[in-house]
Amino acid sequence: MEKINYIWGLLRLSMGWIFFWAFIDKLFGLGFATCRDASTNLVGILCEKAWLSGGSPAFGFLKFAAKGPFAEFYQGLAGNPIVDWFFMLGLFGVGMAFLLGIGVKIASYSGVLMMLFMYTAGFIPPQNNPFLDEHFIYAVIMIGLSLSHSGRWLGFGGWWKNTQLVQKFPILE
């Protein structure tokens, strides 16, 4: 049984890196997903799409990738600074919680909600597979992370669960 716990720990770390990397790339515009079409380098030149350069980290996705019955709603959110802040705080918070193994339950629920928003924004048709979208896979993994107490394996969750705060509010585990 202990080996499966390490698998959950590795899945948690992997999901944490996915969220945290998205945050870092959007913050600095490192030339991966955020600034593919811009001339940037990895040694400190920020492209105009980087959040630190005043770019909107969610604009491109909301404005151009939104399809289906909710497209108009999501396109209307494009460029809104409050949406950008929530998006970036979500990426950072979920990523760090998963990487540290602290607050995995709340990060899992938040991550599932983010996946739901991303899925409904690009609702029809799924881009990579007509039957199963990766947002569903990520959501199922995050539910598993929450239920498996994955923060206790390869993270600080074992210590975190014994704090007075988590003892009082178990949702914070």
Asked if pLDDT for residue 41 goes beyond 60, the answer is: no
Task: Quote the percentage of the chain above a pLDDT of 90.
Answer: 65
For the stretch 51-106, pLDDT in tens is 988 889 999 889 988 888 899 999 999 999 999 999 999 999 999 999 999 999 99
Radius of gyration of the chain (CA): 17
Residue 2's pLDDT is 86
Query: Comparing C-alpha atoms, which of 152, 132, 139, 155 is closest to residue 19?
Result: 139
